[in-house]
């Protein structure tokens, strides 16, 4: 947009002085801890809230954040969809929605969870390099993002391949991260220093010449 600075945050994470009981309770919902057990902001602890800009932003609405993070924490930590399939879907959302923040964050989650970097490089180029459940999840994610639903035939294949629980979770994973990408792009949330950079999309001239 002309006349605007797209790097200037429209909503900033909470400062140390702004964290209170409600905000700690919200962060605790993600961690599975009561608010009083959450490390204090500015403590330097590995779970210091100031180290997580995404949490500091969501906690500006602590009551909403507590309920959302309870759900999101369940998807990430206790859901039945395998980490590999979940992260392929999240990273496809990041590429499609051009979310540098979520590409960087979930590139790290995926690789630390055992997904080879070569697979993530192939993911950028499209779906043809994948087979089986990987390809099915990527195709379904594309349908959900493109048309707001999966085709009936895709849903049936998902339930046959993954079971009803994992198929249901996939829809909620895609929807959750599409929503978060929309929110954080609106607020101009910057990627943490050292994050993997968002690659060109498959539709860009740079990538097209490589295919």
Please write the tens of the pLDDT for every residue from 30-49: 999 999 999 999 999 999 99
115: CB partners within 8 A, 6+ apart: 83, 84, 87, 88
Please tell me the distance from the alpha carbon of residue 2 to that of residue 5, in angstroms, as a whole number.
8
What is the chain's mean pLDDT, rounded?
Answer: 91
189: CB partners within 8 A, 6+ apart: 9, 53, 54, 57, 101
Token pair belonging to 58: 């969501």
In this predicted structure, the answer to whether residue 16 has a pLDDT above a threshold of 70 is yes
In this predicted structure, the answer to whether residue 54 has a pLDDT above a threshold of 60 is yes
94 touches 177 (CB < 8 A): yes
pLDDT-based confidence at 206, cuts 50/70/90?
very low
Please tell me the distance from the alpha carbon of residue 133 to that of residue 150, in angstroms, as a whole number.
15
Percent of the chain with pLDDT over 90: 87
pLDDT value of residue 193 = 87
Query: If you count DSSP H runs as helices and E runs as strands, how many of each does the chain have, helices first?
Result: 10, 0
Please tell me the distance from the alpha carbon of residue 182 to that of residue 1, in angstroms, as a whole number.
16
30 touches 52 (CB < 8 A): no
**DSSP category for residue 7:** T
pLDDT value of residue 203 = 58
111 touches 200 (CB < 8 A): no
45 touches 39 (CB < 8 A): yes
pLDDT value of residue 192 = 85
pLDDT-based confidence at 202, cuts 50/70/90?
low
Q: Residues 128-184: pLDDT tens digits? A: 999 999 999 999 999 999 999 999 999 999 999 999 999 999 999 999 999 999 999
pLDDT-based confidence at 209, cuts 50/70/90?
very low
**Domains in the chain with CATH codes:** 16-77 (no CATH), 83-208 (1.20.1290.10)
Is the alpha carbon torsion for 174, 178, 184, 190 positive or negative? positive
In this predicted structure, the answer to whether residue 3 has a pLDDT above a threshold of 60 is no
Q: What is the mean pLDDT of residues 46-73?
A: 96
């Amino acid at each position: 947009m002309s006349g605007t600075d797209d790097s200037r945050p429209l909503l900033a994470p909470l400062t140390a002085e702004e964290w209170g009981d409600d905000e700690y309770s919200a962060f605790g919902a993600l961690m599975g801890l009561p608010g009083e057990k959450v490390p204090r902001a500015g403590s330097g602890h590995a779970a210091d809230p100031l180290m997580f800009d995404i949490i500091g932003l969501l906690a500006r609405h602590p009551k909403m954040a507590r309920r959302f993070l309870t759900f999101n924490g369940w998807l990430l930590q206790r859901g039945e969809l395998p980490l590999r399939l979940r992260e392929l879907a999240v990273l496809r959302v990041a590429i499609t929605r051009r979310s540098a923040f979520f590409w960087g964050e979930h590139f790290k989650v995926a690789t630390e969870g055992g997904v080879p970097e070569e697979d993530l490089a192939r993911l950028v180029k499209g779906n043809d390099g994948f087979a089986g459940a990987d390809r099915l999840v990527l195709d379904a994610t594309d349908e959900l993002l493109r048309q707001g639903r999966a085709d009936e035939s895709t849903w049936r294949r998902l339930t046959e391949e993954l079971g009803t629980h994992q198929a249901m979770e996939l829809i909620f994973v895609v929807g959750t991260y599409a929503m978060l990408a929309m929110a954080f792009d609106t607020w101009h949330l910057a990627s943490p220093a050292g994050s993997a950079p968002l690659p060109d999309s498959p539709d860009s001239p740079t990538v097209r010449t490589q295919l």
